[in-house]
Structure 1
Amino acid sequence: MLRLKSRDFRLDIIKKLNLTPHPEGGWYRQVYHSAKTHYDATSLASRYEYTSIYFILDGGSPSHLHRLLHDELWYFHDDSSIVVHCFYPDGTYEAVHLGRDIERGEQLQFRVPAGTIFGSEVLDASSFGLVSCAVAPGFDYHDFELFTQDQLLAKYPKQAEVIRRVAYQKLPA
């Protein structure tokens, strides 16, 4: 069992799992994808039937707000809980807590529906969390859209504090 207890240990796990920086934030590596591909009518292109990654976030590197064309499943593994911020197409907002403390309302798994703008963060700045994420049909950067704070503040003004924490001011090059 992995036990993430310090920043140095997090760096060891990143190295042992062979993770690299993700454009949305955090560190990741695709671990699995289906053997088969198929034409996906939503993407208008060929996609794996599914993909799965390891993903680590820490207090200094959130998963910045983005949107996918397909559902994404999140599976909590270890250390600090992660908050997944969901901005639904109908204008509503929800914060979902992934973690092991089920008594306090944390969930071990969560599905982010296709078309939802979402990002995630570890609330404890000195901590981090390890999850896996699966997308079906499989993840492809052509099906991925990052957002800036300015793009979201007009539509979700009540969530300005969250948006300022987990959305880029300016998209990375």
Structure 2
Amino acid sequence: MHRERIDSRELIQRLKLEPHPEGGFFRETYRARGNVVRENEGDARSASTAIYFLLCDGAHSAWHRIRSDELWHFYAGDPIDVHVLDANGSLVTHRLGNALDHADTVFQAVVEAGNWFAAECHDAQGAALVGCTVAPGFEFSEFELAAPGTLEARYPQHRELIERLNPEV
């Protein structure tokens, strides 16, 4: 089995990654010049955006949601679990990884607009470089971190996972 080890410090520097408010490190790599307008809304926004996203050193992506679909792409490192809660409380975990090396992983997964989601390396000591493409494009004004206690109250059946991946307060 081929295993790509990530030197997270070197990668942060080489890719010019910065700390992300949800956890991990990121850098926007693409913002479409063309704009779109959502149905029943007047604000124009980029048609699409893309970022590099690195999880390492035990960090996780805390529970958050956005108003657009987000496509996750696996690039290198260890498998990463992307946990998604829909409005009905159903939990789906997508395991991103090198699907040629890990039969239980996929190269891409979609988080639909409005769903709460969080991510972590499957091995807490692992490191993973992924990409996220958002359409219509990502705007921090539409980024919402879960308030402490909110998701636990709404989805008590997933309390342990929600509490473990809560944002740092």
TM-score (norm 1): 0.88
* Residue 4 of structure 1, CA deviation: 5.0
Partner in structure 1 of residue 98 of structure 2: 100
* Residue 169 of structure 1, CA deviation: 5.5
1:65 maps onto 2:48 in alignment: no
Partner in structure 1 of residue 153 of structure 2: 154
Segments of 5+ residues of structure 2 without an aligned counterpart are none
Deviations 1:23-82 (A, max 9, x none): 011000000111212333466422100000000012521110001111000000111110
TM-score (norm 2): 0.90
Output the CA distance in 2 between the equivalents of 1:101 and 1:149. 35
Q: Residues 4 and 149 from structure 1, CA distance in 2 versus in 1: closer, same or farther, beyond 3 angstroms?
A: farther
Partner in structure 2 of residue 5 of structure 1: 5
Segments of 5+ residues of structure 1 without an aligned counterpart are none
Q: Residues 44 and 128 from structure 1, CA distance in 2 versus in 1: closer, same or farther, beyond 3 angstroms?
A: farther
Report if aligned partners of 2:4, 2:76 keep a CA contact under 8 Å in 1.
Answer: yes
Output the CA distance in 1 between the equivalents of 2:26 and 2:138. 13
CA-based RMSD = 1.8
Give aligned-pair identity as a percent: 36
Report if aligned partners of 1:37, 1:48 keep a CA contact under 8 Å in 2.
Answer: yes
For 1:87-126, list aligned pairs within 5 A: 87-101=85-99, 104-126=103-125
Q: Residues 168 and 29 from structure 1, CA distance in 2 versus in 1: closer, same or farther, beyond 3 angstroms?
A: same
Output the CA distance in 1 between the equivalents of 2:160 and 2:136. 33
1:75 maps onto 2:60 in alignment: no
Partner in structure 2 of residue 24 of structure 1: 22
* Residue 131 of structure 1, CA deviation: 0.3
SS in 1 for 2:128: strand
SS in 1 for 2:65: strand
Partner in structure 2 of residue 86 of structure 1: 84
Partner in structure 2 of residue 168 of structure 1: 167
For 1:97, the aligned partner's letter is R
Report if aligned partners of 1:150, 1:169 keep a CA contact under 8 Å in 2.
Answer: no
Partner in structure 2 of residue 139 of structure 1: 138
Output the CA distance in 1 between the equivalents of 2:124 and 2:34. 40
